[in-house]
Structure 1
Amino acid sequence: MKENVEDLLTPNLWLALAAEMLGTMTITLLGCGSHATYQENNFLHVALTFGLTVATVVWVFNHVSGGHMNPAVTLAALFTRRVSIIRGVLYIVFQIIGGIIGAGVLYGLSSSRHFPYLGSNELSLSTSSAEGFGVEFMITLVYVLAYFACHDDKRSDLRGSAPLTLGLAVVACHVFAIPFTKAGMNPARSFGPALISDSWRDHWVFWVGPLVGGLVAGLLYEYIFAAGATFAGAKKCLLRTKKPRKQTEPEKAPLEEIKTDAIEVEDTKIDGEDAPEVVVDKTETAAEEKPGNGASADEVKKD
């Protein structure tokens, strides 16, 4: 809870939210806009538009927000503890807002007669809901795995551009999935056009498929495929919230001991102040031990 409150008060959070909203808006506007000239046998330009747009916005905003621009990525980051709960929830909210704004701008820039559905996702006539779910699950799984691999700080075996890698992953997934579902892969990108064009047929597929696929991909990479991933690390992460409860009791003992010692020291000082001071005159002592005439102490006493 404390971590969420501190994150909420961080100025970077609000800048990151603006970046997520603007990035998702750009993806929705440009990517869905490319569907205006979509043809069943000629959709490569749609895949390239989405891929290059994702690469661009990740390159621009990665240092600000991490370059999620996708609720599926944020959900995976949330369950792998890469972002706080409050940041993850706000990311998803602002991504959805960005998708709505992007679809609204696209609606204002295009002719509703020639482009009524604004690139909304829909299942092909030969694709069932279960098959659509499987397609969305797989393409989001691939993309989120690529995202986590690009953000693995412990890896030193790969060189190159992470944003370009993510863009190419988006292109590959779109080329595969467009004939089946028009490649949602991003619930915010799917929700914006569906809301503006009022197109809700099988819309649940484009939420459940990507979210489940992204979550599975995040957990798989974080605890199995990541550099240095171990079962002990996964167990430690899952039990992290229970540790403070176990450590609270033994931590009290040292504090009490220190407090007791401090009281004893104070008592000693007080006793020392109340005790009478004894002043010893070094001159008289020296005179008693060694009289001026060189006589011993016993002789002086006899005299």
Structure 2
Amino acid sequence: MTASADLRRSTKMPVLKECLGLGEFTRKGYSKLLKAFIAEFLGTMFLNFFGCASTIAWSEDNGPSVVQIAFAFGLAAAGVIQAIGHVSGGHINPAVTISMMLTSNITVLRALLYVIAQCLGAIAGSGILRALTPENVGGNLGTTIPESRLAPVQAAGMEFFLGFILLLVVFGVCDPLRNLSHNAPIAIGFAILVGHLAAVPFTGSSMNPARSLGSAVISGVWDNHWVYWLGPILGGTVAGLIYKHFFALRSPSEDLKSLP
């Protein structure tokens, strides 16, 4: 093997290690990852518990309104992000985590741990809700199902745009050069609120694959479940890439580097 080949391999390996996040598995890094895992688990658990609780109809004359559901999910998300944002970033959504990973904001292994924590947390939240709800009420516990007159591709399209607006807001308020991070929980909560106000009649307005997974696992209803993974993840990824490459603020030093 030539010296140049050795050099290329030696420079690629640290980059690959950094991208995967292997360096985070030190004694100190492991402790931070564990805290972040628990934060994402609890955050998504509470999102599913309180959000899905708002969808329960206690009688035929006492059903939830779209406004009630929208505010429950939006405010629950805002509160949770405010509580755990400093620990894990407050993703509580695989679409957020995957978009952050694909734009090089978090490592691959951290993203994998976050998605596992989010899915387990959502299942736990829906499971607790099922245990605390009488058997003769609750229905499907807020399981997201496309409106019967929607084609699956239409439902996926709606979830695409819900994921898009959510991640556009996330990237916008978390841009470090804008210094708006203190407003992030409220802004993200409002994005979720608006998405629910608009789209609950269409798809149940998931915006979050883990949120839909938790309800589906406990209720056993899986109708067109793929819509709630593909739509938000694709929409969020497109929004993240657009923001990173077109909208993100750049430091003065970066602007100078771009000059001819």
State the TM bucket, normalised to the shorter chain: 0.7 to 0.9
| Superposed CA offset, 1:169-207 (max 9, x none) | 110010011010010110000001101110001111011
Alignment of 1:213-224 (within 5 A): 213-224=235-246
- Asked if 1:50 is matched to 2:73, the reply is yes
Cα pair 1:33 1:119 within 8 Å, conserved: yes
Cα pair 2:57 2:64 within 8 Å, conserved: no
Counterpart position of 2:148: 125
| Superposed CA offset, 1:65-123 (max 9, x none) | 01100000000000011101100111001100001101100110112321131100001
Larger relative contact order, structure 1 or 2 (CA cutoff 8 Å, min sep 6): 2
CA distance in 1, matches of 2:46, 2:182: 24
Counterpart position of 2:55: 35
Counterpart position of 1:179: 201
> Taking structure 2 as the reference length, what is the TM-score of the superposition?
0.84
% identity of equivalent residues: 37
Residue 225 of structure 1: CA displacement?
Answer: 1.0
| CA gap 1:87/1:223 in 2 versus in 1, 3 angstroms | same
Residue 42 of structure 1: CA displacement?
Answer: 2.6
Q: Select 1:5's aligned residue among 8, 22, 30.
A: 22
- Asked if 1:73 is matched to 2:96, the reply is yes
Which protein shows a greater Rg?
A: 1
Cα pair 1:8 1:87 within 8 Å, conserved: no
> Taking structure 1 as the reference length, what is the TM-score of the superposition?
0.72
Q: Give SS of 1:35's match.
A: coil
Letter of the 1:18 counterpart? I
RMSD of aligned alpha carbons: 2.0
Residue 125 of structure 1: CA displacement?
Answer: 1.8
Aligned residues: 230
CA distance in 2, matches of 1:184, 1:40: 19
Alignment of 1:186-265 (within 5 A): 186-228=208-250
| CA gap 1:81/1:160 in 2 versus in 1, 3 angstroms | closer
CA distance in 1, matches of 2:182, 2:80: 17
Unaligned runs of 5+ in 1: 234-303
Alignment of 1:70-149 (within 5 A): 70-149=93-172
| Superposed CA offset, 1:219-276 (max 9, x none) | 11111111129xx99xxxxxxxxxxxxxxxxxxxxxxxxxxxxxxxxxxxxxxxxxxx
